[in-house]
A and B are shown apart, each in its own frame.
Chain A
Amino acid sequence: MARKITIEPVTRVEGHGKVTIQLDDSNNVAQSRLHIVEFRGFERFVQGRPYWEAPVLVQRLCGICPVSHHLAAAKAVDVIVGAGTGDGLTPTGEKMRRLMHYGQFFQSHTLHFFHLASPDLLFGIDGDPAIRNVIGVALEHKDLAVQAVLMRKFGQEIIRATAGKKIHGTGAIPGGINKSLSNEERDEFLKGADPLNVDKMIAWAQAAVDLFKDYHSKHADMLDNFAVFPSNHLSLVRKDGALDLYHGVLRAVDSEGKKILNDVDYQDYVNYIGEEVKNWSYMKFPYLKSIGKKDGWYTVGPLARLNTCDFIPTPLAQKEFEAYKAYTKGKPNNMSMHMHWARLIENLHAIEMIKELLNDKDIQGKNLVTKGKKQHEGVGLIEAPRGTLFHHYRINDQDQIVMANLIVSTTNNNEPMNRAVTHVAKSVFSGKSEITEGMMNSVEVAIRAYDPCLSCATHALGRMPLEVAMYDSKGDIIDVKRK
Chain B
Amino acid sequence: MQNRILVYGYGNPGRQDDGLGPALVERLEGERLPGVATDSNYQLQIEDAVAVAESGTVIFVDATVSGDGPFTFTEIEPSGEITFTTHTISPGSILALCHELYSKEVRAYVLAIRGYGWEFVEKLTPEAEKNLEEAYRFLVEKISDIMNMSETVTLN
A-side residues, CB < 8 A to B, are 9, 11-15, 41-42, 45, 57, 59-60, 63-64, 66, 111, 114-116, 129-136, 138-139, 142, 145-146, 148-150, 152-153, 156, 166-168, 453, 456-466, 483
- 16 A-B pairs (CB sep. < 8 Å): A14-B87, A60-B15, A115-B89, A133-B81, A134-B93, A135-B93, A138-B100, A150-B50, A166-B40, A167-B12, A459-B11, A460-B18, A460-B64, A461-B112, A462-B64, A463-B65
Give the interface centre of A42, A66, A135, A153 by most chain B CB atoms within 10 Å.
Answer: A135
What is the number of contacts between chain A and chain B, taking CB atoms within 8 Å?
Answer: 145
Known A-B contacts A167-B13, A458-B12; A142 and B63 likewise in contact (beta carbons under 8 Å): no
Q: Which residues of B contact A111 (CB under 8 A)?
A: 45-46, 87
- B93 proximity list for chain A (CB < 8 A): 133-135
Bound CA span A462–B91, Å: 13
Complex: A413 Cα to B62 Cα, angstroms: 31
In whole angstroms, how far apart are the Cα atoms of A136 and B82 in the complex? Answer: 10
In the complex formed, the residue of A with least CB distance to B62 is A461
Could you tell me if B46 and A66 are in contact, using CB atoms closer than 8 angstroms? no
B40 touches A460 (CB 8 A): no
Contact A11 B87 (CB under 8 A): no
Is the Cβ of A134 less than 8 Å from the Cβ of B97? yes
Residues of B within 8 A of A167 (CB): 12-13, 22, 40-42
Closest to B115 in A: A460
B47 on the interface (CB 8 Å rule)? yes
For B66, what are the chain A residues with a Cβ–Cβ distance below 8 Å? 461-462
Query: B106: which A residues are within 8 A, CB to CB?
Result: none
A-contacting residues, B53-76, CB 8 Å: 62-66
A148 proximity list for chain B (CB < 8 A): 46
Chain B's nearest CB lies how many Å from the CB of A469?
A: 17
Is B85's CB under 8 angstroms from A133's CB?
no
Decide: B84 and A466 in contact? CB cutoff 8 A: yes
Residues of chain A contacted by B83 (CB below 8 angstroms): 11
**Are A136 and B80 in contact, with the CB atoms below 8 A?**
yes
Q: Is the interface of B mostly helix, strand, loop or mixed?
A: loop
Whether B85 lies near A13 (C-beta < 8 A) is yes
* Interchain CB contact (< 8 A) of A12 among B17, B43, B85: B85
**Does the CB pair A12–B86 fall under 8 Å?**
yes
- Residue contact A138 to B97, C-beta cutoff 8 Å: yes
A146: chain B residues at CB < 8 Å are 101
Task: Looking at the assembled complex, report how far the CB atom of B79 sits from the nearest CB atom of chain A, in whole angstroms.
Answer: 8
Give the Cβ gap from B100 to chain A, nearest Cβ, in Å: 4
Query: How many residues from B make CB contacts under 8 Å with A?
Result: 43
Which residues of the partner chain B approach A64 to less than 8 Å between Cβ atoms?
Answer: 42-43, 87
Q: Does any Cβ of A come within 8 Å of B24's Cβ? A: no
Chain A residues near B62: list those with CB within 8 A.
Answer: 460-461
B42 CB contact (under 8 Å) in A66, A114, A150, A462: A66
Q: B126-144 toward A: CB 8 Å interface, digit per residue (1/0)?
A: 0000000000000000000
Query: In chain A, what residue has the closest Cβ to B51?
Result: A153
**Interface contact B120-A41, CB-CB below 8 Å:** yes
CB distance from B9 to the nearest CB of A (A): 10
A463 pairs with B84, CB closer than 8 A: yes
Q: Is the CB of B122 within 8 A of A60?
A: yes
Q: Given contacts A133-B86, A462-B66, A465-B84, is CB(A457)–CB(B12) below 8 Å?
A: yes
7 closest residue pairs by CB, A with B: A60-B14, A63-B42, A135-B80, A138-B100, A153-B47, A152-B47, A461-B64
B46 near A461: Cβ-Cβ < 8 Å: no
> What's the least CB distance linking A369 to chain B, in Å?
25
Of the candidates B13, B62, B81, B86, the one having the most CB atoms from chain A within 10 angstroms of its own CB is B86
Verify A457–B46 contact, CB threshold 8 A.
no
Within the complex, the shortest CB–CB distance from B109 to chain A, in Å, comes to 13
Please measure, in the bound complex, the distance between the C-alpha atom of A167 and the C-alpha atom of B12, giving whole angstroms.
Answer: 8
Q: Are A134 and B120 in contact (CB under 8 A)?
A: no
Pairwise interchain contact B101-A116, C-beta atoms closer than 8 A: no
Alpha-carbon separation in the docked complex, A146 to B88 (Å): 17
Task: Say whether A9 contacts B46, CB under 8 Å.
Answer: no
Bound-state CA distance A307–B107 (Å) is 49
The residues of B that contact A139 with a CB separation of less than 8 Å are 100
Question: Are A458 and B13 interface neighbours, CB within 8 A?
Answer: no
Whole-angstrom distance from the CB of B130 to the nearest CB of chain A?
A: 17
Contacts of A11 in B (CB 8 A): 82-86
Residues of B within 8 A of A458 (CB): 11-12, 15, 18, 118
Flag whether B96 is at the interface (Cβ < 8 A). yes
